[in-house]
């Protein structure tokens, strides 16, 4: 709960050297880009929950296994240090719209919070840096993780995230109004109605064909995270694409390709190659 005794003793060191505390498996060099959180354009609230995304630890680990770089934050609803840092951190994300996954003890049940910490400890083989304390901010991929710091100013957060990788151009959405506003400004963007089910044909297409191109390019990809949406936004997305039920799609302008259809999946592969040429 909150800062444990070890955290209290080391806090001043963390603030002086927020980038120096790295996991033993840390590699040299920048990571692949982080995804952007497109929903932030429509957020007016100033809380961790409002500016971060909620995602179970199994999905987070699967994303890293698939090659993604992720950022995640440990927080606690009753932690005074978390509450003190919250305005700075929320403003930073509103300004720079990185996607950060939130694990907040108090919003999560204690059993789910503990399971999350234990799963990440096991994944990274680390029980000292990844622990039940808050606030703790990390950037990670399959190879390693970096403890970014706590209590950092907006400029320190900016520099810390820039040190991790190049600017990303994959933008995640769970709110239809934010998605349509983005598409108005980026009318030729590629749009992926995401299949996040492990083993799904859409998920396999994303991992093998779309993500490797999108993550290293400077063209926008809209990632509609359908199963993370509430029912209102799910229904709005289905109506937008003229669907009765969910099916993974790849589209651009008026072209929509059903990724469960083998012929259209071949056409989608060609579209990806052309778009990112």
Rounded CA Rg of the chain: 19
- Please report, to the nearest 10 degrees, the dihedral formed by the alpha carbons of residues 259, 202, 93, 134 taken in order: 170
Helix or strand run (H / E) with residue 37: strand 36-37
Quick one: 183 and 156 in the same domain?
Answer: no
Quick one: 160 and 34 in the same domain?
Answer: yes
In a domain, 2, yes or no: no
In a domain, 12, yes or no: no
pLDDT of res. 265: 97
Q: How many domains does the chain have?
A: 2
pLDDT averaged over the chain?
Answer: 88
Given 130, 164, 198, the domain boundary residue is: 164
State mean pLDDT over 239-248. 96
Q: How many CA atoms lie within 13 A of 98 on its CB side?
A: 28
What are the tens digits of pLDDT across the range 71-113? 999 999 999 999 999 999 999 999 999 999 999 999 999 999 9
CB-CB neighbours of 12 under 10 Å: 9
What are the tens digits of pLDDT across the range 131-189? 888 899 999 999 899 999 889 999 999 999 999 888 899 999 999 999 999 999 999 99
pLDDT of res. 103: 97
Quick one: 92 and 135 in the same domain?
Answer: yes
State mean pLDDT over 219-247. 97
Quick one: 129 and 30 in the same domain?
Answer: yes
184, two tokens: 């108005």
The terminus-to-terminus CA distance of the chain in angstroms comes to 50
If we measure between CA atoms, which residue out of 181, 86, 63 comes closest to residue 137? 86
**Reported confidence tier of residue 276, pLDDT bands at 50, 70, 90:** very high
pLDDT of res. 29: 63
pLDDT of res. 113: 94
Residue 117 has pLDDT above 80, yes or no: yes
Q: Which residue has the tokens 């999560």?
A: 108
Given 164, 192, 209, the domain boundary residue is: 164
Helix or strand run (H / E) with residue 71: strand 70-76
Quick one: 81 and 153 in the same domain?
Answer: yes
pTM of the model: 0.86
pLDDT of res. 227: 94
Q: Which residue has the tokens 């622990």?
A: 131
Residue 18 has pLDDT above 80, yes or no: no
Question: Lowest-confidence range among 8-17, 54-63, 246-255?
Answer: 8-17
Quick one: 256 and 200 in the same domain?
Answer: yes
**Reported confidence tier of residue 33, pLDDT bands at 50, 70, 90:** very high
Beta strands 136-140 and 249-252 are unpaired
- Please report, to the nearest 10 degrees, the dihedral formed by the alpha carbons of residues 115, 116, 119, 124 taken in order: -150
pLDDT of res. 43: 65
Range of the domain at 57: 21-164
Largest CA distance in the chain: 61
Distance CA 214, CA 250 (A): 13
| CATH (domain of 260) | 3.40.30.10
């Amino acid at each position: 709960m909150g800062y444990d005794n070890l955290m209290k003793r080391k806090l001043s060191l963390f603030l002086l050297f927020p980038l120096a505390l790295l996991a033993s498996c840390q590699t040299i060099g920048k990571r692949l880009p982080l995804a952007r959180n497109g929903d932030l354009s429509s957020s007016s609230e100033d809380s961790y929950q409002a500016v971060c995304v909620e995602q179970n630890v199994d999905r987070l680990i699967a994303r890293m296994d698939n090659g993604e770089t992720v950022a995640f934050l440990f927080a606690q609803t009753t932690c005074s240090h978390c509450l003190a840092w919250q305005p700075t951190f929320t403003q930073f994300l509103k300004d720079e719209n990185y996607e950060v996954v939130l694990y907040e003890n108090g919003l999560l049940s204690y059993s789910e919070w503990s399971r999350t910490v234990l799963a990440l400890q096991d994944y990274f083989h680390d029980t000292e840096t990844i622990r039940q304390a808050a606030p703790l901010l990390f950037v990670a991929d399959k190879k390693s993780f970096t403890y970014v710091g706590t209590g950092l100013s907006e400029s320190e957060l900016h520099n810390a995230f820039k040190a991790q990788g190049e600017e990303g151009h994959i933008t995640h959405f769970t709110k239809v109004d934010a998605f349509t506003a983005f598409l108005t400004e980026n009318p030729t963007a590629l749009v992926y109605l995401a299949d996040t089910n492990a083993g799904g044909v859409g998920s396999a297409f994303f991992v093998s064909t779309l993500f490797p191109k999108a993550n290293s390019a400077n063209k926008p990809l809209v990632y509609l995270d359908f199963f993370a949406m509430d029912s209102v936004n799910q229904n709005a997305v289905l109506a937008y694409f003229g669907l009765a039920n969910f099916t993974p799609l790849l589209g651009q302008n008026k072209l929509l390709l059903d990724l469960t259809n083998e012929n259209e999946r071949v056409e989608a592969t060609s579209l990806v190659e052309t778009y990112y040429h």
